[in-house]
Structure 1
Amino acid sequence: MKPILLFFSSIVLGLCTACDKTELHTRLAAEEELRQLHSEITALANSVPCTDPSQWAITPLGSKACGGPVSYIAYPEGSLSQNFLSLVEHYTEAQRAFNKKYGLISDCMYVMSPSGIRCENNRAVFITP
């Protein structure tokens, strides 16, 4: 009787371990997708040199687990802004869903929106209040 019980116990334990590995793999894949989206957003924002701050805008980026944006990002207004904002929205929603799915918590500190943008070395730099 003990060998049969031991056999079934090892099967159940093996299945539980497989579930944990699958869940871990799913989570790691989702984290990697978020990293890639963030990199794509940053690269797109940095693809245009900042020479006139009046041609740039600011948008919230990401979602903290307890609400609000993780940060803000500057982007050039114009032809690429619609695609850029769609990508930011997709990233923010994906991060919000990830936080909810995995029950994440965050520091819940409010991230102040920059008051403006200035251009330094062809890069958009935030003016903070």
Structure 2
Amino acid sequence: MKKYLLIVLVLYLIVVAFKCESDDGLVTQEDEQTELSILKTEIETLANTSICNETTTCKFIAFGDKPCGGPWSYLLYSTSINTNELENLVEVYNKKEKEYNTKWGVMSNCAIVTMPTNVECENNHCVAVY
């Protein structure tokens, strides 16, 4: 799984380093969407590598930024991974998505995503409780 994360990170760096620019030198909406998609995959991959057991704790974090307000979802993970790295990546992603939404006038539904009341460990995976 670490190989996969490394591959995603390398691809992200390549896209950022050699991203196509429009004729007027400005980054396009498609460029920014690609950057967000790569970062989202990196975050989800890291969270999905986490496992839970009697020595770890399950947690959740608001993930994404809906144009109408609030997160798109809540990401589940455990303390078996580098939680500081994950939380920092999510913070960067949420900020970039908010800027993207504002810059490009993105619309969404205004449905409120229910926040878990708790997260429990079942079969070594964190499961949301509502």
* Interval of TM-score (by shorter of Structure 1 and Structure 2): 0.7 to 0.9
Question: 1:127 deviation in Å?
Answer: 1.2
Structure 1: runs of 5+ lacking an equivalent: 1-17
The equivalent of 2:79 in structure 1 is 77
Question: 1:117 deviation in Å?
Answer: 1.6
Question: How many equivalent residue pairs?
Answer: 109
- What RMSD in Å do the two structures reach over aligned CA positions? 2.4
Deviations 1:46-89 (A, max 9, x none): 11222249601111000000111111001223661111110000
User: Deviation above 3 Å: which 4+ runs of structure 1?
Assistant: none
Deviations 1:4-47 (A, max 9, x none): xxxxxxxxxxxxxx66xx77x71111111111111111111111
Provide the C-alpha distance between the structure 2 equivalents of 1:76 and 1:54, rounded to a whole number of angstroms. Answer: 6
The equivalent of 1:51 in structure 2 is 53
- Say which of 119, 122, 125 aligns to 2:121: 119
TM-score of the two chains, using structure 2 as the length reference: 0.73
Question: 1:110 deviation in Å?
Answer: 1.1
Asked if the contact 1:53–1:117 (Cα under 8 Å) also holds between the matched residues in 2, the reply is no
Provide the C-alpha distance between the structure 2 equivalents of 1:84 and 1:96, rounded to a whole number of angstroms. Answer: 18
Provide the C-alpha distance between the structure 2 equivalents of 1:89 and 1:121, rounded to a whole number of angstroms. Answer: 29
Question: 1:125 deviation in Å?
Answer: 1.7
- Say which of 85, 92, 98 aligns to 1:90: 92
Compared CA separation, residues 33 and 73, structure 1 to 2 (3 A): same
Q: Which moved more, 1:83-92 or 1:117-126?
A: 117-126
Alignment map for 1:1-40 (pairs within 5 Å): 26-40=28-42
Provide the C-alpha distance between the structure 2 equivalents of 1:61 and 1:53, rounded to a whole number of angstroms. Answer: 25
Provide the C-alpha distance between the structure 2 equivalents of 1:53 and 1:37, rounded to a whole number of angstroms. Answer: 29
Percentage identity across aligned positions? 32
- Say which one has the larger Rg: 1
